[in-house]
Amino acid sequence: MSSTELSIGQIKSRRIVYLISATITLLILGLIYAWSIFAAPIGKHFTSYGPFLPQVFQVSMFAFCLSALGGAQLIKKTSAKLTIIVAAILMATGFILTAYGAGLDVWALFLFYGVFAGSGCGIAYNAIISLVNPWFPDRIGLCSGVQMMGFGISSLVFGSVANAMFGIMDWTTVFIIIAIVAFVVMLALAFIVKPAPKDIGTKLGLEGATAKAKVSPTQQQPILKTKVFWIYCVWATFIIACGLTLIGTAAQGATTLHLDDTIFVGFGALLVGLVSTMNGVGRIINGAIFDKVGLLPVMLLSSVLAIATMIGLSVSLALQLGSLYIVAAILVAMPYGSVPVMASAYARQRYGALGFAMNLGIANCNIASAAVINIIIVAALGSPAGANGPIIYAILAVLAAGALVATLAFGKVYKADLATIAKELQ
């Protein structure tokens, strides 16, 4: 039976199955965030790689963004199904080649994990969100939040499992297992999920569904040529830069503060999991807030939290306050988790369904710009878990303040745009 022939009951059933399938798949893909856990055994085996390991994570984030754009083009020219299959091959290949090729030199980690695995993750992420979100025109924020919760809590669920496996088997074996599991799960999703019917809003009885099907000239504006998008980029880039800095070095920061000694051995890995949990929970909360009151309140809350947590991390490292570091590290994930959900919701609300995959990929490129900021800061001042950690987080607190200013500027333009779109669709 084609999607256009589905009854309302069948649509609701498929929505549940598809959302669960997507969340599980993104749970696997989110392992890309577990790099600080993966880096520990790799760093012990290849001691000379130590100074370069934090940068591998930044490269993977950069590849994640750029590949999403290529994935959007692949979706447009072929299908989301084929795109997910291509992504599965890339990600599995990246983990396998990392396992077998890490001994070549540190560049192998940048290429195989950073570029291959990062690209596979980025392509799949964009394809999955673009395929599943149209099934939820009435719950865009919550749908995005639930899917991205899986992506966010992966470090807790599977990262902790991987960390335990490192204690009983070689890290290369763990990477191969991850590659196989990721490939199988992504392949299954590709064959399970079908595109949503074009008239799903009407079938769900949404008010104004027919009107929303009209073409709004304002929504058809190229995303890169709109003022509101570039203001949004400033906010998103600064918020992500704060989160990436902590996420990539959370375990190392715990070691610096001797939390593995004063609390219990392995607490660093647990902290990564706790950050991951808040990252996931925060995505659902932020998605629900968006559905209730809109984008601006989420941006304001995220900016204020980013300022507070960056100051907290700076002070905790300067004064060696382990408890403050733990609280601030966990809370950082709340504003960080808001950005991917808002990217999806913002791209759909402001620019419409047409070209959503490409617009989402462009909006997510803020991860790349944030990664560049982190690479520059780390190159100049060293690891955030090192001696200059307080300075690095103080700089990020200033960036978070910049995100707050950007939010205020964004609000005026965004409200005007939405008012124009509503008028055009009347």
Q: What is the end-to-end Cα distance of the chain in Å, rounded? A: 34
CATH number of the CATH domain containing 21: 1.20.1250.20
Residue with token string 């990664």: 371
**Low-confidence residues in the chain, pLDDT < 50:** 211-212
3 state DSSP class of 386:
coil
Position 214 scores a pLDDT of 64
State which residues form the domain around 296: 3-424
Position 4 scores a pLDDT of 57
Position 2 scores a pLDDT of 53
CB atoms within 10 A of CB 426: 7
- By the 8 A CB rule, do 337 and 350 touch? no
Structure tokens at 241: 């830069």
Structure tokens at 354: 């047409």
Cα separation of 368 and 115, whole Å?
13
Q: What is the pLDDT of residues 234-274, one digit of tens each?
A: 999 999 999 988 877 887 888 889 887 888 777 887 787 78
For residues 352-365, b (16+ Cβ closer than 10 Å) or e, as one string?
A: bbebbbbbbbbbbb
Cα separation of 364 and 66, whole Å?
9
Question: DSSP assignment, residue 320?
Answer: T
User: Which long-range contacts link 138-143 to residues 24+ away (Cβ below 8 Å)?
Assistant: 138/201, 138/204, 138/206, 139/291, 140/290, 140/291, 140/344, 140/345, 140/348, 140/349, 141/286, 141/287, 141/288, 141/289, 141/290, 141/291, 141/341, 141/345, 142/284, 142/287, 142/288, 142/291, 143/19, 143/287
Amino acid found at 104: L
Taking alpha carbons only, the member of 86, 63, 97, 60 closest to residue 179 is 97
The total number of structural domains in the chain stands at: 1
Cα separation of 81 and 75, whole Å?
8
Amino acid found at 65: C
Structure tokens at 366: 């803020």
Position 3 scores a pLDDT of 55
Residue with token string 């997510």: 364
Q: What is the pLDDT of residues 40-68, one digit of tens each?
A: 889 888 888 887 887 888 788 888 888 88
Position 212 scores a pLDDT of 47
Position 424 scores a pLDDT of 87
Half-sphere exposure for 94 (CA within 13 Å, toward CB): 29
